[in-house]
Structure 1
Amino acid sequence: MSPALDERQRIRAAMDRILSGRPEHSNGALTIVALAVEAGVPRNALTQRHTDLKNEFYEKVRARGATPDSEQRLRKQVRQLKELRAADAEEIAKLKADVEALVGALHQTTVENGRLRHQLADRASVVRALPAQAPFRQ
């Protein structure tokens, strides 16, 4: 499918409409997708054939002091991911501390168990009968 002859002109006109806040065919977002819809061209026309117009659009958006919607979304996502990473790092540190405490407790009980086994082995194996107790009555 070959591009239409007036594709570049339609993209420029769409760019002007979006940047002036008068979109006719799109939601007016400062994105390549909205620009493509506004111009009536496929998105890949901007991402593959007319990359210069795509770059020009983003330059004009930045020159106005605005940040493209896609960049705002990505920045928000990066911020959220950094927060999640920090929370994960904190949880990992706590889990490592718990593991160290559990390993210490396991070592202590293993040593104590060995000591008790040794004490039992050293004793003479004498079985003693306990005195019988009367049954409990209320």
Structure 2
Amino acid sequence: MSPALDERGRIRAAMDRILTGNPERSNGALTIVALALEADVPRNALTQRHLDLKNEFYEKVRARGQTPDSEVRLRKRIVKLKELRANDTKELTQLRADVQGLMEALTTLALENQQLREQLALPAANVVPFPGLRPSPHRQ
């Protein structure tokens, strides 16, 4: 489908309406989607055919001291992702410390268990098995 002859003119007029706060067809957001809707052109008209007008729109937005809505959304998303990454790093650090503590406890228990088994093997063992418990097949 070929672009309409007046497409560039409609885009420029839509740009002016949005930047002056008088949108007729869109919500007036400082986005290419709103600009395309306001100009009554497909979005790809700005992203493929008229890149110069898209860039001009963003330049005018910045020249007015405003930030395009898409950039505002991306900046918010970046902040959120940084928070999530910091939380993940904190949790990972805690999990690593927990693993280290558990490994130390396991080693201690294994050593104590070995010592108790050795004491049971002595002829005059002062360790008595609990009544009703069967000896482990490993001690036979």
Same fold at TM > 0.5: yes
The aligned residue for residue 36 of structure 2 is 36
The whole-number CA distance in structure 2 between the counterparts of 1:122 and 1:59 is 88
Q: Which residue of 2 aligns with 1:46?
A: 46
User: Per-residue CA shift, 1:73-92, capped at 9, x if unaligned?
Assistant: 11001001100110110011
**1 CA distance for matches of 2:117 and 2:51?**
79
For 2:64, the equivalent position in structure 1 comes to 64
Alignment match, 1:94:
94
Matched with 1:134 is: none
Q: Residues 37-65 of structure 1: CA distance to partner in whole angstroms, max 9, x if unpaired? A: 00000001100111110000000000100
**Cα distance, 1:123 vs. partner?**
3.0
Aligned to 2:136: none
Counterpart amino acid of residue 59 in structure 1? E
Partner AA of 1:89 in structure 2: T
The CA distance in 2 between the partners of 1:117 and 1:101, in whole Å, is: 24
Question: Alignment identity in percent?
Answer: 71
Partner of 2:12: 12
Aligned residues: 126
Q: Aligned-pair distance for 1:124?
A: 5.4
Structure 1 Cα separation of the partners of residues 49 and 92 of structure 2: 47
Which residue in the other structure is 1:133 paired with? none
CA distance in 1, matches of 2:45, 2:102: 60
RMSD: 1.3
Q: Determine the C-alpha separation between the residues in 2 that align with 1:48 and 1:118.
A: 80
Stretches of structure 1 lacking an aligned partner (at least 5 in a row):
129-138
Question: What's the CA shift for 1:102?
Answer: 0.3
- The runs of 5 or more residues in structure 2 that have no matched partner are 129-140
C-alpha distance in structure 2 between counterparts of 1:11 and 1:87, whole Å: 44
Which amino acid in structure 1 is aligned with residue 16 of structure 2? D
- Local SS of the residue matching 1:71: helix
2:78 aligned partner? 78
Which portions of structure 1, spanning 4 or more consecutive aligned residues, are displaced by more than 3 angstroms? Answer: none
